[in-house]
Structure 1
């Protein structure tokens, strides 16, 4: 059976895309490897009507609602290879299954990469955080920190004081110039240039000179890489962002390869459940219209 569209990635963006298509009575296959980017977080804030809910519960509800539609098919399997034929796209899964789709939506997300500081990964998504809009309010204006990873961290250090008193740990990742130091002072940010040795406890930043800072939360601008090489297999162009490369799309989430769309964290530099759902809805409607309407 050939599907009208194959969606690779069944998290928020992928499900939102698939929902638009099945509501247009198109046959859709969702392939999902089960690795949501926000699987480490216990609450998802800032999502309208879902504020504060467990992100796993939001995803489970989305899947259940999607699979009510008879044209939706779900497979718990990862797409390993993809090729374009004259008439469609063929996707081969890690389990060895082959599926064909007239259109392809890439929504398999990205993988976060953190600096090699002991204790970061164990606290990622709980007290080591990436987005103040997702997590800042719950820190209750406590003492906060920003651990530098590169140029993006300067923007983060200037922004985080909105949520609480902030210390900027440069950790050898960047050296603020005179203008940047003046901006930090104006924002009331404490600058700490002694390297960080570890993060312990809830969010205790320990320096190599023996000092430590007990924080309510530590923000880190992770770098990202695609969670799969499928876009590269197809020849999709990428765009550079301060966090890493993402798949290049137009305003309707179309990639540079005809018939291929991309959405969610894979196609933008910043991650958010709300933005992923919006991108997915756009990708789904654009995919449907590419199937339904003649090419201009």
Structure 2
């Protein structure tokens, strides 16, 4: 039996594994290799790894984990989970049955791309969600923001630290007169109409085509599509969740423990803060690993 099974081998999961491996705890990490930020050319804001490709950072992390004999990395999907504290059981997609005293769920979320031609193809290059991740490289240029609800006003306020030229695309949303007045006060024009196509130009530039016939070119487009957990193990375990403006996340306490004793969650799956952050995912993963280890002390 393992001490801990970690479901998800991206930044949060590997950070948890590192802490547990250094404590000489027996750990199995299950990973599908479908990290959320695999579409991005570079990862930014991670100390010591700024402006490196995210897949390169993860590959180096896996190489470093190889020196810990109690860590096992498996390329597999967790198909089912059952049990309770001190005796959890996970079955993989190749029918391997694993048991562990603790679980850490770090399988992240999947961004749900709108049915707009060019959107999915531009995701991670011309269309991005996070100014902390990509804002510096396009600072001072013309930014676009796809409005997705009242929370988008926070993005408008945030973006002005990087650029003074911002255009909001209503995309069919009803933006109230008082919010429009606030946007006008900030010299932020609103373009009405639904987006029907995104035409990508190079690494960042894009032209947004609207059903009104208008075409607006921007140097970078920010969007925040809804997301959903990339697996349903939290549902099988009956874990408490939180409904955020962008999707469902797993509820955790200050120790990263979920509503079920012995089950921890980290990364985007349990992060209420937007935009997503590799730094926060790694930090929360390390915390989950440490607290899972401490919960097994006698």
TM-score by length of structure 2 reads: 0.94
Separation (CA, whole Å) in 1 of partners of 2:264 and 2:255: 8
1:17-66 deviation digits (Å, cap 9, x = unpaired): 11111111100000101100000001001111111001001111111111
Counterpart contact for 2:126–2:200, Cα < 8 Å = no
- Quote the residue 1:277 is aligned against: 282
SS in 1 for 2:110: strand
Cα offset, 1:135, TM superposition: 0.7
CA–CA separation in structure 1 for the residues paired with 2:184 and 2:114: 26
RMSD between aligned alpha carbons? 1.3
Where does residue 149 of structure 2 map in the other structure?
A: 150
CA contact (8 A) 2:6 2:104 kept: yes
The count of corresponding residues between Structure 1 and Structure 2 is 291
- Structure 2 CA distance for aligned equivalents of residues 85 and 264 of structure 1: 22
- Please give the alpha-carbon distance, in whole angstroms, between the structure 2 residues aligned to 1:28 and 1:237: 25
In structure 2, what is the equivalent of residue 182 of structure 1? 181
In structure 2, the residue matched to 1:235 is: 238
Larger CA deviation: 175-184 vs 230-239: 175-184
CA contact (8 A) 1:153 1:220 kept: no
The Cα of 1:87 is off from its aligned counterpart by 4.3
Residues 250-265 of structure 1: pairs in structure 2 closer than 5 A: 250-265=253-268
TM-aligned CA deviation for residue 163 of structure 1 = 2.2
Change (3 A) 1:49 1:87: closer
What does residue 169 of structure 2 align with? 169
Residues 212 and 71 of structure 1, relative CA distance in 2, 3 Å threshold: same
Q: Map 1:1-296 to 2 at 5 A.
A: 2-84=1-83, 87-164=86-163, 165-172=165-172, 174-202=173-201, 203-269=206-272, 270=274, 271-293=276-298
Deviation at 1:208, TM superposition (A): 2.0
Normalised by the length of structure 1, the TM-score is 0.95
Shift of 1:86: 7.3
Give the Cα separation in 1 of the matches to 2:40 and 2:174.
Answer: 31
Q: For residues 233-288 of structure 1, give each alpha carbon's deviation from its aligned partner in whole angstroms, at most 9, with x where no partner exists.
A: 01110011111110000011000001000000000133210000000010010000
Which residues of structure 2 form unaligned runs of 5+?
A: none
Q: In the TM superposition, what is the alpha-carbon distance from 1:197 to its structure 2 partner? A: 1.8
**CA apart distance, 1:148:** 1.8
| Partners of 1:152 and 1:221 within 8 A in 2 | no
Distance 2:70 2:246 in 1: 37
